[in-house]
Every structure is written in structure tokens, then in C-alpha cells.
């Protein structure tokens, strides 16, 4: 895989987009996690952070791709906090 910022952003969008689609268009969270409906977003962020660690630990680190994944994760958390109006 190329060490490209845009590829990292595309890879980083996969999990949050999947979490959004699962929580919006299916009853997956209500069925499997009735007391914690936003767990899909937490899992998506955790997977993205795991991807960042993998990109940095390779024998040839892919720093640009890792930065793309980190940017998408950070922006996704900000959007999540804005739309769900969580008190920090």
C-alpha cells in the first residue's frame, strides 16, 4: 500500500461510515446493545486507533496514511459530539 494521506483518510472513513449506517438504517444497536446505543461509534474509533498503531509499527512506517486515519478519527469525534450534544 502507498504511503498516501488521501488513502489513509479513505481507510479511516470506512469504520465510522459503517457505524453511522448501522445505527441509522438498522436496528443493530438496539438489538445487541440496548443499554449502550452509541457503542458502534466507540468501536469504530477504537478500530481506527488500532489502524494508526499498525501503520506506525510497520517495518516501513506509513506516516502519511496514519495521519489521514488520525484526522478522520478526530473530525469524526468532533462531529459526533456536535450532533449528539454530549456534555464534556
- The single residue listed with the C-alpha cell 453511522 is 20
Calculate the alpha carbon distances from 58 to 23, 33, 88 in Å: 33, 34, 35
Q: What is the pLDDT of residue 84?
A: 78
Radius of gyration of the chain (CA): 14
Per-10-residue mean pLDDT of the chain, 88 residues long, equals 87 91 84 81 91 86 90 90 73
Q: What is the pLDDT of residue 73?
A: 92
The ranges assigned to domains in the chain are: 5-84
Closest CA to 1 of 60, 46, 83: 60
Report the C-alpha gap between 83 and 19 in whole angstroms: 15
Amino acid at each position: 500500500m502507498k504511503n498516501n494521506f488521501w488513502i489513509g483518510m479513505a481507510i479511516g472513513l470506512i469504520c465510522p461510515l459503517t457505524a453511522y449506517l448501522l445505527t441509522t438504517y438498522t436496528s443493530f444497536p438496539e438489538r445487541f446493545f440496548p443499554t449502550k446505543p452509541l457503542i458502534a461509534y466507540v468501536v469504530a474509533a477504537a478500530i481506527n486507533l488500532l489502524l494508526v498503531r499498525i501503520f506506525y509499527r510497520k517495518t516501513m512506517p506509513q506516516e502519511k496514511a496514519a495521519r489521514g486515519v488520525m484526522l478522520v478519527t478526530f473530525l469524526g469525534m468532533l462531529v459526533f459530539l456536535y450532533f449528539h450534544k454530549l456534555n464534556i
